[in-house]
Amino acid sequence: MTFSLVLTEERLYAKEHCCSEMSEQVNMSALDAKSPLLGSTDKRIYWSPVFNEYGLICQPSAEVLQIQHCPFCGVRLPESRRDQWFERLESKGWKTWGDPIPNELLSHEWK
């Protein structure tokens, strides 16, 4: 079981995903109830633009269980870019979570 990593300063980015149901969940912006870390408690799917990871939001906790297939259409989701992101981050001198993360690495365009 792998949990998704949620970067609190990650920039949001709306896009079309594998199917309309996934796009609706991931791009949800009408937030009725709030979770301090993840936004709407109506939202059930988390997508990280930085890592290109998808996950099921486990409410009421702030845990996100990483998924490899769309729960709506069954298509295989793209590979995570988490390992490549950490390699790039470390190449910039980053050592620990106390170190600042460069702004260019908090966007989906970092690659």
Could you please report the per-residue DSSP string of 76-91?
A: BPPPP-HHHHHHHHHH
CA-CA distances (angstroms) from residue 67 to 21, 29, 36, 102, 106?
15, 22, 22, 27, 21
The count of other CB atoms within 10 Å of the CB of residue 49 is 20
Judge whether residue 31 has pLDDT over 80. Answer: no
pLDDT in tens, 56-102: 988 767 688 999 999 999 999 999 999 999 999 999 988 888 888 88
Q: State pTM to two decimals.
A: 0.78
Residue 33 pLDDT level (bands cut at 50, 70, 90): low
